[in-house]
């Protein structure tokens, strides 16, 4: 299972570069979840694998109305602190967060993510 990575930059096909607050993002790539299936004998133990979606959680500076980002189809390019780039095609917003102190939270999901670099 893939771990969380620190997000340093996100570029949206719809909106350009998103105004992420310092330490304001995490990204979990799509992958697989494995559920252990115990056997009566240890050698008969295995697992069942199911796909998992990609998740991007951001805290944005509120330079625009949060409803602007309410979308059902966007392509996001994510740049992480470890030098990797990922793409989330056909990403959608999950829930619009509350506006407060000049910032708001937003969460995107995508059925799959692709590692670019």
Question: 73-109, pLDDT tens digit by residue?
Answer: 999 999 998 899 999 999 999 987 777 788 888 999 9
pTM of structure: 0.81
pLDDT tens column, 22-42: 888 889 999 999 999 999 999
DSSP string, the chain: ----EEEEEEEETTTEE--EEEEEEEEE--EEEEEEE--SSGGG-EEEEEEE-EEEEEEEE-SS-GGGG--S-EEEEEEETTS-EEEEEEEEEEEEPPPBTTEEEEEEEES--EE--
């Amino acid at each position: 299972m893939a771990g969380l990575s620190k997000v340093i930059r996100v570029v949206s096909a719809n909106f350009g570069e998103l105004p992420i607050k310092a330490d304001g993002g995490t990204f979990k790539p799509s992958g697989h979840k494995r559920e252990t299936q115990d056997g009566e004998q240890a050698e008969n133990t295995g697992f069942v694998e199911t796909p998992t979606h990609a998740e991007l959680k951001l805290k944005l500076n509120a330079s625009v109305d949060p409803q602007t980002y309410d979308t059902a189809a966007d392509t996001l390019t994510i740049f992480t602190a470890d030098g990797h780039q990922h793409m989330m095609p056909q990403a959608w917003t999950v829930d619009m967060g509350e506006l407060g102190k000049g910032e708001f939270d937003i969460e995107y999901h995508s059925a799959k993510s692709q590692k670019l670099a």
